[in-house]
Amino acid sequence: MYANLFVFYYSQFEEILGLKNYQTCVKEAALLDYFVSGFWWATEMNYSCQQISFVMALLQLVLDNIREKQMPFGDNLNEFAKLISGTRQSLSPEVDSLFDAEQAMAITDYLKCSLFQNYRLYEFLFNQPREELLLGKKRTIEVISSADFVAPLEEGMNTEVYLHYMTPVDQQEEGQRTSQVEDGEVPGETVLEQEKENKATEFEEYNVQDVKDVLDDLTKEMLRNLQAEFTEKLRVQEESFSTRLEPLKHSACK
């Protein structure tokens, strides 16, 4: 119950004071906590609406002396003492004073614990400039492309890593191997049997005439190559003999 009520006070003061960035701004968070705590304390003291209004005005005045007037600690404390002492004086005998001595002492103790003991902190918070903190930074990291480099050596890799990343097996083939193992078949023997069957089927497609035609073509091709090679050798020998006989012809003519 108290937690829900405290959250309600926070939402109301956030809207009244216009503190929309209290979750990220230290100044707005300190202001919101300062006023909500003061209002909560006044309500817990069972003060009347007029008394609560005076307490809130007193909190505002003391804080403005720090934030706007930059008033020293002693001057601000003296002004607070004058205001709180004035609440005990009545304008007429028929009207009671706003606070009695016990209530005035309670307000003094609360301000002493909440603000005056932390006076230097409030001065630093509202009077010292703060630099914006860098919450994020963008970095560019180069990644090596695997296409530009050769694959790592198999000897330097773990077997599990090699089988998982370097030799991926198709899911369909893996399923076939699994089913074959479940049926009691060895995958390697099955592949060899299939290859033998395929070769036998290929040979069965040819008849005797097809084999003769293929052999005739091969024989003719080989003979043409031999004839061309023999002719070339004869031509080379004729040129060699002609070159040798030419000097003999000249000497015979002389």
Residue 164 located in a structural domain: no
221 and 113 fall within a common domain? no
**Can you give the pTM of this predicted structure?**
0.47
Same-domain check for residues 219 and 114: no
Structural domain boundaries, residue 112: 2-89+97-127
Same domain, 20 and 118: yes
Q: What is the rounded CA–CA span in Å between residue 39 and residue 59?
A: 10
Closest to 122 measured CA to CA, from 53, 37, 26: 26
Is residue 122 located within the same domain as residue 201?
Answer: no
- Residue 33 included in any domain: yes
12 and 121 housed in the same domain: yes
Check whether residue 119 and residue 219 sit in a common domain.
no
Indicate whether 111 and 12 sit together in one domain. Answer: yes
CA distance 39 to 44: 9
Domain count, the chain: 2
6 found inside a domain:
yes
- CA-based max dimension of the chain: 173
Distance CA 166, CA 151 (A): 9
Determine the pLDDT at residue 150.
60
The answer to the question of residue 174 being in a domain is no
Q: Are residues 19 and 121 in the same domain?
A: yes
Position 108 in a domain: yes
Cβ atoms of 83 and 61 within 8 Å: the answer is: yes
pLDDT for res 169: 55
The per-residue pLDDT string of the chain (254 residues; one tens digit each, 9 = 90 and over) reads 566 776 777 788 888 888 888 888 888 888 888 988 899 899 889 999 998 999 999 999 999 999 888 899 999 999 998 888 877 666 555 556 788 888 889 999 999 998 999 999 989 888 877 666 666 778 888 776 666 666 666 666 777 877 777 765 554 455 555 555 555 554 455 656 666 666 655 555 667 777 778 788 888 888 888 888 888 888 888 888 788 777 776 666 65
Report yes or no on 215 lying in a domain.
Answer: yes
Decide which of 111, 127, 143 is a domain's last residue: 127
pLDDT at 110 (0 to 100): 92
Q: Do 106 and 28 have their domain in common?
A: yes
d(CA 42, CA 44): 5
Burial class (CB in 10 A: 0-12, 13-18, 19+), 59: buried
34 in a structural domain: yes
Residue 136, in any domain of the structure: no
Do 13 and 106 belong to one domain?
yes
Question: Could you identify the residue written with the tokens 């230290």?
Answer: 26
Do 7 and 123 belong together in one domain? yes
Please tell me whether residues 26 and 108 are part of one structural domain.
Answer: yes
